[in-house]
Amino acid sequence: MKLLSYSRDAAVIALAASLTALPATSAFAVSDSDILNDAETTNDVVSYGMGPQGQRYSTLTQINDKNVNKLVPAWTYSFGGEKQRGQESQPLVSNGKIFVTGSYSRAFALNSQTGEEIWQYDHRLPEGILPCCDVINRGGALYDNLFIFGTLDAQIVALDQETGDVVWKEKIDEFKDGYSNSAAPLIVKGKVITGVSGGEFGIIGRLEARDAKTGKMVWVRPTVEGHMGTLNGKDNGISGKTNASWPGDLWKTGGAATWNGATYDPEVDLIFVGTGNPAPWNAHMRPGDNLYSTSTVAIDPDTGKIAWHYQFTPNDGWDYDGVNETVSFNNGGKKLAGHADRNGFFYVLDRTNGKLVNAFPFVNQIDWAKGVDLKTGRPIETGVRPGDPSASTDGKKGKQIFVAPSFLGGKNWMPMAYSQATGLFYVPSNEWGMDLWNEPVTYKKGAAYLGAGFTIKPLNDDYIGALRAYDPITGKRVWEVKNKAPLWGGVLATAGNVVFTGTPEGFLKAFNAKTGEELWKFQTGSGVVGSPITWTEGGEQYIAVPSGWGGAVPLWGGDVAKAVKSLNQGGSLWAFKLSK
């Protein structure tokens, strides 16, 4: 088997050349071609995922498996104050500045070599915001002279990279109705692509494209079947077919939030966005597949039309959001995509048409299904579903079950990495299950819309988290490294044969990409649940990662939350380089 590196062919180069560049306001403005080439350039990081395909792979080798044990802190910066909580951001680097977001919808620009603050922006959040899973933010986007990010009160803000001043600001939706935003935006062909959070409040998932320079809306594509899309302010066709996979009026409050952002592949010119759980959690109320929930949806970046979709968990009854990233890679001349789903299965899709190529478990215990039918693409369910409360004696609580994975997933939002050198995916996974039961529920705008109760439990005494290396073609697990606490941070792979990720216990760690041997670790003072990056500056390679424990685990984690209650919160950004 010959593994091919991801490289742009002539068609992609032509696509980049054909993009019409907007007038630059700075000699160091970030262009469309800069973003398309982010995975190949080493002196900056101008997109979430270190390239719009989301591979999180760097060709840098200055830091490698032979010398990574000589990494030392170059500088650290405190996010300050009492606003610590979970720091799930991925930094960006351009023109001598490092840009990072913090909890409570804050943004910072620092000198990337010294950590000295250049500016700080504190978004004024109103009372009554309704974030599901902590007051986190996962990062921003760079375009032209702007730094763009979303806020917990469902706005999108564009700041001047030099000053931090607001250039434009747009409202995504009404936060009082349950909408929020915390994912890093994606830039495609001069458009800023954003989704929405709030699936637990019965909102309507969608993907939106705005002119990145002005914030003006270009298109909207709902991810719940039956809702109308728009293009340049005009109707652009409904998503799917009304009532085809939803009963009655439940599609009007159907969830399927696009809360983890999107990736883009220029080879097939499609945006890939994951969608969350259908609403409510009580699946007995909504028989049918409930499209386009728990799916990867491929969308044309010019028109906002759906090109194809693949649904991971039809009629989801366990809250197995399908929002995890879809990562483009090539193998044997085939254009493929990898996706590690919350439901416990790793999927390989043909990214030209969404057809299933391979599917295999990446966690040890999966109770709800015994596999995925490679012919139909559908899960082979075991029947392990919570009971219908309407069929119970009191009508208040259905039959309780135990099922693994828990709703926090075999893998949650934390992005995996793909190495062009090894051909392996590095997946931050967790082994846990849950007691789960259904309850009656009615929709009320701005109120929680679950219809379920749960308690998350660990499956093993010695570990919950495990960083695992997988061959996506064979499904073989090449190595794993176990961790006592759940893993909740992103992964970085480099051509230096090193894989980096953090732990809730506070460590940033480096592993041999081929064997999983631990090569180095550093205690940052709080849990690492952000995503590491690397770049070169002044002839030196840097590694940077935010530190600050929080996110969904301490809020929703049940027995697991009790087990990790001693972990301390924090808020800082660390940068490392080799000692001299």
Which residues are annotated as catalytic? 319
Phi, psi of 13, deg, nearest 5: -60, -40
The full 3-state SS of 183-236, as one line of letters, equals CCCEEECCEEEECCECHHHCCECEEEEEECCCCCEEEEEECCCCCEEEECCEEE
Alpha-carbon gap, residue 451 to 255, rounded angstroms: 13
Alpha-carbon gap, residue 255 to 274, rounded angstroms: 12
DSSP 425-470: EEEEEE-EEEEEEE------TTS----EEEEEEES-SS-SEEEEEE
DSSP 303-364: T--EEEEEESSTT-SS-----S--EEEEETTEEEEEEE-TTSEEEEEETTT--EEEEEESSS
92 strand-pairing partners: 99
Alpha-carbon gap, residue 330 to 418, rounded angstroms: 11
Alpha-carbon gap, residue 555 to 548, rounded angstroms: 15
Long-range contacts of 374-378 (CB under 8 A, 24+ apart): 377/310, 378/314
Amino acid making up residue 293: S
Alpha-carbon gap, residue 295 to 323, rounded angstroms: 7
323 close to 411: Cβ distance less than 8 angstroms: no
Residue 570's Cα: distance from chain center in Å?
21
Amino acid making up residue 109: A
Alpha-carbon gap, residue 92 to 130, rounded angstroms: 27
366 close to 379: Cβ distance less than 8 angstroms: no
Place of tokens 């390239």: 51
For residue 83, give the H/E element and its range: none
- In whole angstroms, how large is the CA radius of gyration of the chain? 22
Amino acid making up residue 295: S
**Sheet strands side by side (includes 234-238):** 186-188, 191-194, 206-211, 217-222, 228-231, 234-238
